[in-house]
Amino acid sequence: MVLQGILFFIAAAGAIGGAVAVVLLRNPFFSVLALVCHLFALAVLFLLLYAQFIAAAQLIVYAGAVMVLYVFVVSYVGGADEPIDEGGGAPRALAPIFAGALLVVLALALAGSALTLLDTNGAKLPDNGNAYGTPEQIGELLLTKYLLPFEVASFLLTVAAVCAVVLARRRRGLEELTDDSPLLGEGLGKR
């Protein structure tokens, strides 16, 4: 239990440090790298919460695939350094105050919560074979109780993939959208 506490505070420091670095670093490329550190720390926290499958998916999907996509786009667009404190107006200067106020509201909600279980270490986990948070349990839940969210999520991924192809194809403005030829076929043909 002591070891878990030590690990929690190390991972929490990593997660908060990574998050602050994402916001404060001026070069978008370094921001992406800071987010990778943040995601690794979060995966450790998920493991501490016995969510093995979520931790693995976090590492593979997020820190792997999504971050590679980010790095590609940053190097394609050319991540120019952005001055943090210059320009903008009142809304941008108020950002730290906004974040602090949001934190205060969330802390009040947590402190005033009637959830008595919050002060425990969590429910007692079963000792039998169908352990908590394993791929077996997640897979069984996904294909039985939560089949509809699973299918909706896969449909959403398909829509997003088609959307990305349509958005990123080579064109100027919206003139091609008014053509009478099929939208997607034409877009793919001109690539």
Which one-letter amino acid corresponds to residue 151?
Answer: E
- 183 binds other proteins, rule: CB under 8 A: no
Among 118, 127, 129, 178, binds other proteins (CB under 8 A): 118
Among 68, 145, 177, 182, binds other proteins (CB under 8 A): 145
Tokens of 141: 């839940």
Size of residue set near other proteins by CB under 8 A: 91
Among 112, 114, 119, 128, binds other proteins (CB under 8 A): 119
Among 44, 59, 66, 176, binds other proteins (CB under 8 A): 66
- 36 binds other proteins, rule: CB under 8 A: no
Helices and strands of the chain, counted as H and E runs? 9, 0
Question: From residue 15 to residue 34, what is the string marking binding to other proteins with x (rule CB under 8 A)?
Answer: xx--xx-xx----x--xx--
Among 98, 182, 188, 189, binds other proteins (CB under 8 A): 98
- 10 binds other proteins, rule: CB under 8 A: no
Nearer to other proteins, 102 or 183 (CB): 102
- Is residue 15 within 8 Å of 45, Cβ to Cβ? yes
As a dihedral over the C-alpha atoms of residue 158, residue 163, residue 166, residue 170, rounded to 10 degrees, the angle is -110
Tokens of 14: 């990593």
Instruction: List, as one string, the DSSP characters of 2-53.
Output: HHHHHHHHHHHHHHHHHHHHHHH-SSHHHHHHHHHHHHHHHHHHHHHTT-HH
Listed in order, strand segments (DSSP E) in 93-171 are none
- 48 binds other proteins, rule: CB under 8 A: yes
- 38 binds other proteins, rule: CB under 8 A: yes
Q: How many residues does the chain have?
A: 191
- 161 binds other proteins, rule: CB under 8 A: yes
